[in-house]
């Protein structure tokens, strides 16, 4: 489906989903308070684990992101999260600076 200059494609194949991708982004499969759903989510999503094999289907210099904390070797492997294409820790550091900027702005507004 075309939306403006972007397009959206729905697929149930992980390799098809990342084919030619420049950025891969993942998150935990079960959030806090959903730990009872872990086994079912792992069964459903294991094909979508970001690992070196899946990463080979993306662009050669594709970047990998994760908002952290990660369940290592579940949604993303240690090899990938620590690998050269991962910008996960830069992403986390940038989030810290963005949060600090929000606090500064909120403080300014509270003094008005």
Kindly list the catalytic residues. Answer: 67
Q: What are the φ/ψ torsions at residue 79 (nearest 5 degrees)?
A: -55, -40
Q: Show the CA angle centred on residue 111, arms to residues 110 and 112, nearest 5°.
A: 95
Long-range contacts of 51-54 (CB under 8 A, 24+ apart): 51/76, 51/77, 51/79, 51/80, 52/77, 52/79, 52/80, 52/83, 54/14, 54/15, 54/18, 54/24
């Amino acid at each position: 489906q075309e939306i403006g200059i972007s397009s959206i494609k729905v697929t149930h194949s992980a390799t098809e989903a990342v084919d030619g991708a420049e950025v891969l982004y993942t998150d935990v499969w079960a959030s806090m308070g959903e730990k009872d759903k872990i086994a079912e989510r792992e069964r459903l999503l294991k094909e979508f684990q970001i690992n070196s094999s899946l990463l080979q289907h993306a662009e050669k210099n594709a970047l990998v992101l994760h908002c952290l904390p990660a369940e290592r070797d579940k949604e993303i492997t240690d090899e990938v999260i620590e690998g050269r294409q991962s910008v996960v820790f830069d992403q986390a550091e940038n989030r810290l600076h963005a949060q600090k900027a929000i606090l500064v702005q909120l403080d300014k507004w509270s003094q008005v």
